Structure 1
Amino acid sequence: MTKSLKEIAAYLGGTVVGDGDVTVAGLGTLDDAGEHDLTFLANPKYASKVATTRAAAVILPAGAETHGRNAILCANPYLAFAKLLTLFAVKRLPPCGIMPGAFVAEGVTIGADVSIYPGASVASGVVLGDRVTLHPGVVLYPGVVVGDDVTLHANVSVREGCRIGNRVIIQNGAVIGSDGFGYAPDGPQWYKIPQIGIVVVEDDVEIGANSTVDRAALEVTRIGKGTKIDNLVQVAHNCVIGENGMICSQVGISGSTRVGNNVTLGGQVGVAGHIKIGDKVMIGAKSGVPGNIESNQILSGIPVIPHREWLKASGVYAKLPEMRKTMIALEKRVAELEGLLAEAGVNRG
């Protein structure tokens, strides 16, 4: 695909600086782009590379120095470049229907232009929307409902009765609707509590590879519209995750927790069960969340505290050994002074 800067600027809603008739055929980084590529600057600390990149043109934020280069000025160069990656690189394959080697039970409702690859298994009562793609090894249990424009990559499992919205992407090996971790004590043993709820994944959600979302014991575990979940994330039963969240790799969210809208959880954050996290909260990586959190906060640490306080505290950690030595020396010196005072008969009171 080849496009002129004028065409790209119109597509992005940006403004051309320089020769709008220059054409580009690909995309690249500031360091690696070639003379027929388009690149972008999102972080100001790399601004000097605009002068040295070999790219035909650069996507820049409004007001940035162009260094005499052809450029497209946009409010958000990173977003603009992401849209161009979709335009240049993402190719939707033509639908292939139900391929030999796929198993589709009787009583399945199938929309238009689906692709079901060999090794996929679709149980009775499943409903598939239009333009659904099921890659090899996908397993849909009875009664699953899948919306339009959904892609389930290899070895995804969706358990009985769960519902997947429109434009959802689920990466390899993820499990939706496995049993929640629920057991009642029975003397020295544990009695399994049947998990009879479902999982609802709303529109425009993406779930990463080998992540798990447990079905509710009763009612629904819900992943809100537009939320993005990274690889190796655990969402326990009866959780409700709000809209447009960002949940990074290895996060664990315990059961019956409610997470608000536009919440970001950094990698390896651990969240206790039966708590509520408000809207627009950001939690730093490796933090522990033991209780409720009000909206509009940035927190880090174990347990979490305001992020700025955590930064100050973390700056002290490396100094603790030396501070300990100083404290011991001071204690020794105080003891010596007290001994001298006692020998001199000085009354310290």
Structure 2
Amino acid sequence: MSVTVRQLAEWVRGEVLGDGDLAVEDARTLTDARAGDITFVDGEKHAAAWHASPAAAAVAPPSIPVNGRPLIRVADPLLAFAEIVRHLRGRAPLPAGEIHPTALVHPTARLGEGVSVGPFAVIGEDSEIGAGSVLSSGVVVGRGCRIGAGSVLHPRVVLYDDCVLGDRVVIHANAVIGADGFGYRTQAGRHVKVPQLGWVEIENDVEIGASSTVDRGTFGPTRIGTGTKIDNLVMVGHNCQIGRHNILAAQVGVAGSSVTGEYVVMAGQVGVADHLRVGDRTIIAAKSGVLSDVAADMRVLGYPARPDSHMKRVWVLLDHLPDWRRDLKRVKEHLGLGDE
């Protein structure tokens, strides 16, 4: 697909500097760009790579000077470049309103205008799908579910009964929403399952990554707040209340009945024990284990997770332990105390 720099600038509402009529064949990053491509320069630290690149044009911030090749100036080059790639390479979505003949839609299910349902998808009794939503191949929507407008469920997503999704929710392949929480009581030497009779509520503009799981509540909802983004391979336990605009990176695990505030960030492989509270805007570093409540506006790391300033001092001291042990051994030998 060949388009001009000016056309690309119109797509992203950018300012053209240089030859706007130059034709562009494809969009690639600076490391992969070839002659005839457009690339993007994400800040001054990449300016030298842009000057050395064979790319025909670039999307760049105002700080990047013109070097004889066309520039499209925008405030956020990364997002603008992503939009250009989407235009140049995007595949057509499922035709709006098309229900594949192999899909199984219960007669009591209600589908809004323009809902698309892919091959072998299943929509259960009394479920409702909002206008313009897309259910890809193999999606299973249980009984009594509610899905808002413009939501996208990628292949083989499973929604157990009574799940509630807001508008513009995106759930990636193989994610499972609403499975039973992990709750047992020991009676007479046996693990007896506590019935999981609640549901899951996912608010507007949430995105959940591939193979992630969100368990239903025991009696009420497990809730994911508006705008929260959950990476692949994340587990959210039953009764959790995840706040608005959280970021949960890969392999995070949040145990049951924990609560997070707004704009909380959990880096990869963070573990949060059950029945804890994490305050607004807290950042938890990768591989940290949270074993107690964390106040708002904290940065914590380590196991158990503690304020990062404290843990950094601890780690500096740990580096000196071998030297201190050697010095202590010499002192004990000098005093005739041995090495016991």
TM (norm. structure 1) is 0.88
Percent of paired sites with the same residue: 39
Would you say the 8 A contact 2:208–2:231 is kept in 1?
yes
Q: What are the residue-to-residue correspondences of 1:64-213 with 2, within 5 Å?
A: 64-90=64-90, 91-95=92-96, 97-213=98-214
Post-superposition Cα deviations, 1:261-317, rounded to whole Å, max 9, x if no partner, equal: 222211111011111112222211111111222222332211223335544544565
Q: Which residue of 1 aligns with 2:335?
A: 338
Q: Which amino acid aligns with 1:99?
A: H
The structural deviation recorded for 1:111 is: 1.5
Q: For each residue in 1:296-346, what CA deviation from the matched residue of structure 2 results, as whole angstroms up to 9, or x when unmatched?
A: 2332211223335544544565x45xx42x334323432343359xxxxxx
Q: Structure 1 counterpart of 2:281, which letter?
A: K
Equivalence for 2:324 = 327
Q: Which piece of structure 1 moves more, 273-282 or 63-72?
A: 63-72
> Equivalents in 1 of 2:266, 2:180: separation in Å?
24
Cα 1:6–1:274 shift into 2, 3 Å: same
Cα shift readout 1:47-93 (whole Å, capped 9, x = no counterpart): 31111112121122222244443212222222222232333333323
Q: In structure 2, what is the Cα distance between the partners aligned to 1:310 and 1:339?
A: 36
- Point out the more displaced range, 207-216 or 53-62: 53-62
CA distance in 1, matches of 2:38, 2:280: 37
TM-superposition CA deviations, 1:183-230 (whole Å, max 9, x none): 223232222211111101112211111110001112211111221111
User: Runs of 4+ in structure 1 displaced over 6 angstroms?
Assistant: none
Alignment partners' CA distance in 2, 1:176 and 1:129: 18
What is the Cα deviation at residue 237 of structure 1? 0.8
Residue in 2 that maps onto 1:50: 50
**Worse-superposed segment, 299-308 or 135-144:** 299-308
* Number of corresponding residues: 336
Residues 1:215 and 1:119: Cα distance change in structure 2 (over 3 Å): same
The AA in structure 2 aligned to 1:148 is: A
Question: RMSD of aligned C-alpha atoms?
Answer: 2.3
2:117 counterpart letter in structure 1: I
Distance 1:291 1:246, change over 3 A: same
Structure 2 partner of 1:17: 17
Which residues of 2 match residues 160-309 of structure 1 at below 5 A?
160-309=161-310
Deviation at 1:179, TM superposition (A): 0.8
- Determine if contact 1:177/1:198 at 8 Å carries over to the other structure: yes
Q: Distance in 1 between matches of 2:198 and 2:55?
A: 53
Amino acid at match of 2:139: V
Q: Secondary structure at the match of 2:81?
A: helix
Does the CA-based 8 Å contact 2:260-2:279 persist in structure 1? Answer: yes
Q: Counterpart of 1:331 in structure 2: which amino acid?
A: L
Query: Whole-Å Cα distance in 1 between the matches of residues 127 and 198 of structure 2?
Result: 17
User: Which stretch of structure 1 is more off in the superposition, 1-10 or 74-83?
Assistant: 1-10
Could you say what secondary structure the match of 1:97 adopts?
A: coil
Which stretches in structure 2 are left out of the alignment for 5+ residues?
A: none
> Could you say what secondary structure the match of 2:300 adopts?
strand
Superposed displacement of residue 178, structure 1: 0.5
Offset at residue 2 of structure 1 (A): 4.3
In 2 relative to 1, CA 328–253 (structure 1 residues): closer, same or farther, beyond 3 Å? Answer: closer
TM-score (norm 2): 0.90
Larger radius of gyration: 1
Letter in 2 for 1:334: V
Q: Are the equivalent residues in 2 in contact too, given 1:50–1:66 (CA < 8 A)? A: no
Shift in Å at residue 23 of structure 1? Answer: 3.4
Q: 1:258 to 1:85 in 2, by over 3 A?
A: farther
Aligned partners of 1:37 and 1:55 also within 8 Å: yes
Structure-2 separation of matches of 1:261 and 1:185 = 36
Helix, strand or coil at the partner of 1:86: helix
Check conservation: 2:94, 2:116, Cα contact below 8 A.
no
What amino acid does structure 1 have at the position aligned with 2:47?
A: A
Give the 3-state SS of the residue equivalent to 2:138 in structure 1: coil
The one-letter code of the counterpart of 1:46 is H
Per the alignment, residue 61 of structure 1 pairs with: 61
CA distance in 1, matches of 2:32, 2:326: 56
Distance 1:293 1:86, change over 3 A: farther
Aligned partners of 2:97 and 2:113 also within 8 Å: no
Q: Counterparts of 1:19 and 1:52 in 2: how far apart (Å)?
A: 19
Contact 1:18/1:71 (<8 A) preserved: yes
